[in-house]
Homo-oligomer: A and B are copies of this chain.
Amino acid sequence: MPSNLNEFLKDFRMIIEEELSQNLQKLTIPKQLKDSMLYSVEAGGKRLRPILLLASYKAYDENYQKALSSSIALEMVHTYSLIHDDLPAMDDDNYRRGKLTNHKAFDEATAILAGDALLTYSFELIGKDTLLTNDEKVEMITNLSASSGPSGMVAGQFLDMDAENRTITLEELEQIHMLKTGKLLEFAIYAGAYLAGATKQQLENLKEYSFYLGLIFQVQDDILDITGDEEKLGKPVGSDEGNEKGTYPKLLGLDGAINKKKEYVNKAVAALEKADAHNSHLMALTEHFSNRDH
């Protein structure tokens, strides 16, 4: 197992953030539109998705340059989804990561357009990447759009809203998380390994890994909403309690949720072993995200 996960996270977060900013800074577009896109893209966050993409690449090949633009595009898609999700008509949030949300820092129309712009630009970015073959570009774009569109993330957002005012089953809850969060995580893992030349069998096993990773991520989110530190989280704890939103602790109790998470971690690790990726950063990342405190 690579010895220093924290160094890997720090280095790659920096690489990703530089690439993100550079790619947007160089655009010749209306100033306030650019400012608004940059505002949300530079608002921090764990950079989980691009880091997973690069870690997945590095599990099969060291020279990760080839995967950079896809990882940046993925983070742009994630950022657009946060901007639209925070809008008054959606979750109506004023703060994210301790900063004003995009429509509060700018205005609602600008936030809608900044989200649209980030989503659209992500495909242009991959389409113009000089390090990828056209076959690789099509594979990236087709999978990214499928993961984030009406059969993927957008469906998850829709079902999540739809479920807010009623009680849902654990099965429905998992379906929502699989679509809303899991699909992009799955893309991250798939895209990195695909670009690095992983075999079909390895990609198949990684799909199973992604499935459990998505569930781990969500259970921990729900647990942190009860046991977390407001300052570290950048949002009030107990915010899920006020509404009827289904969460793992609500459905299984806190201990039940923690046990469920352990079960998922074991299954994720088994899948990583089958994919010959257990000596990569993905292994340490799984534990890391399972125990994260924000």
Contacts and interface: CB of A to CB of B under 8 A. Distances in A.
Nearest to A151: B29
Copies per complex? 2
A17 interface: no
Q: Which of under 10, 10 to 19, 20 to 34, or 35 or more describes the interface residues of A?
A: 35 or more
A134 B141 CA distance: 11
A117 B158 CA distance: 10
A154 B120 contact: yes
A150 B37 contact: yes
Contact of A30 (B87, B112, B128, B162): B162
A189 to B, nearest CB: 19
Output the residue of A28, A34, A141, A161 with the most chain B CB within 10 A: A141
Contacts of A148: 120
A181 to B, nearest CB: 16
15 contacts: A27-B151, A29-B151, A30-B158, A33-B154, A34-B150, A89-B107, A109-B161, A113-B158, A117-B149, A120-B148, A120-B149, A121-B149, A123-B141, A123-B142, A128-B142
